[in-house]
């Protein structure tokens, strides 16, 4: 999926920051600034961390679904264009068989 370690690191970091913004995890302050340490945030009573995580996955999945639907629309338009061109070429060959290779 990732051709470079940097790309994988950026992907993971983006998702960790997303979880942090949604309050699922938090960043711990460390003396060593080379590493960022994340931990589960404290949840109030009655809030199930699994439910919050599922909601987060749902939001992420919705973004992926939207991108896939856009690609499907694009590919469908291209496919219909190609089908239309193929039908037009077939009609031309039927009308003018001498031009067919």
In whole angstroms, give the CA distance from residue 64 to residue 56. 13
98 versus 35: the higher-pLDDT residue is: 98
Q: Could you read off the pLDDT of 34-63 as tens digits, one per residue?
A: 777 878 877 655 556 566 666 666 666 777
Phi/psi region, residue 23 (left: phi>0; alpha: psi -120 to 50; beta: rest), is left
Split at pLDDT 50, 70, 90, the class of 96 is: confident
Model confidence pTM above 0.75: no
């Amino acid at each position: 999926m990732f051709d470079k370690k940097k790309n994988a690191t950026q992907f993971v970091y983006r998702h960790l920051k997303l979880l942090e913004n949604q309050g699922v995890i938090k960043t711990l302050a460390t003396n060593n600034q080379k590493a960022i340490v994340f931990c589960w945030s404290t949840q109030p009573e009655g809030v199930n961390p699994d439910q919050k995580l599922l909601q987060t996955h749902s939001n992420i999945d919705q973004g992926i679904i939207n991108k896939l639907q856009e690609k499907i629309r694009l590919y469908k338009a291209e496919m219909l264009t190609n089908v239309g061109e193929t039908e037009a070429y077939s009609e031309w060959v039927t009308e003018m068989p001498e031009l067919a290779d």
